[in-house]
A = this chain, B = another copy of it.
Amino acid sequence: MSDFRFERHALDGNARAGTFHTPHGVIPTPVFAPVGTQATVKALTPAQVAELGASLVLSNTYHLYLRPGHELVREMGGLHAFMRWNNPILTDSGGFQVFSLSGINKKDNDGVTFKSHIDGSMHRFTPESATHIQNALGADIIMAFDQCPEPYDRAMNELALRRTHEWLVRCQNAHQRTDQALFGIVQGGTFADLRAQSAEFVASQGLIGNAIGGLSVGESKADMHAMLEVVCPILPADKPRYLMGVGSPEDLVNGVMRGIDIFDCVLPTRLARNHAAMTRRGRLNIRNRTYFNDPNPLEADCTCYTCQNFSRAYLRHLCVAEEMLAASLLSIHNLHLLVHLAAEMRQQIQQGTFQPWADAFLANYTPTQKQT
């Protein structure tokens, strides 16, 4: 019997509430996964990540392969033991990073040769090696090695799609562990026909779960939504759907509305290090002079450790004084917001009240304008 099982509890429009069972525990869906790129969610202990309510954490194959090396992680008992996150972990394949982070890369049909962003040394990933590295890391969910091109370049997307599909089959053949679920990735840029073709191919592989890549990479929100509306109905309803690298509050709501179950993004922790707080109304730049003597928490009624304990005035002081605690406390709040937003959507779906709730949420939310 498989180590993995996806239960669907409720459907509300296209939004789904479920539970994904993995070898390291259950993931209630919809879910937002904090990103621990280098085997740590930046500025937080695993105890703090657990306390804010996370069930799934993402880590990064490209980074861990380069440093400290997947063989070391395997020798130390795998990624769960190494970083002391005993709940589910997902690793991405490194496909995105070899294109976006390494200054030089050379793609061919067999794989990608790339230059380390750390020391300039040359390395090569193939579907087989990216899968074997993830087998060594030992995450519960691992990702196929794919190619993610510019969203509006049709020729590149056609080429990348062929490779991504061929590579998916090679990843499946290379994959060695039944206690890890390999997810395939739908590509196709902003082209509905390519997205449909890709979703059909990925769906036909009978994987434990399926992912959508190549979104939130520069395309418009309207295009992102349109692509989700093409892809989600084609992907099997009884498998979890993961929208990679997406993580603003409004994107979570828009994704769930269209049938997405799993999200991850560096945004909440990156904003925290840049002293921005996410709220259900929009972002706050907490360094702003406005907050100098503001005794209120970041967000009224928020139950996170930060909001339960600290004023905006104190957080502003930490930011201005360049104290590391600013990043920790803002990361706790921002991650708590997204993790609990996902949990709230799950509840709304189970109650059958998701759509009006989502409409009200989006009406109150200002995505781009920062509050001051």
Contacts and interface: CB of A to CB of B under 8 A. Distances in A.
| Copies of the polypeptide in the assembly | 2
Interface in A282-314: 292-293, 295, 305, 309-311, 313-314
A314 B76 contact: yes
A68 to B, nearest CB: 4
Chain A interface extent, by class: 35 or more
Nearest to A321: B38
A169 interface: no
Interface in A34-83: 38-40, 42-48, 63, 67-68, 72, 75-76, 82-83
A47 B44 CA distance: 13
A217 B54 CA distance: 46
A290 to B, nearest CB: 14
Contact of A323 (B38, B317, B318): B38
A75 B325 contact: no
A293 B72 contact: yes
A327 interface: yes
21 contacts: A38-B321, A38-B323, A40-B323, A43-B325, A44-B325, A47-B305, A67-B320, A67-B321, A68-B292, A68-B321, A72-B313, A72-B317, A75-B293, A76-B313, A76-B314, A82-B314, A82-B317, A84-B309, A324-B324, A324-B327, A328-B328
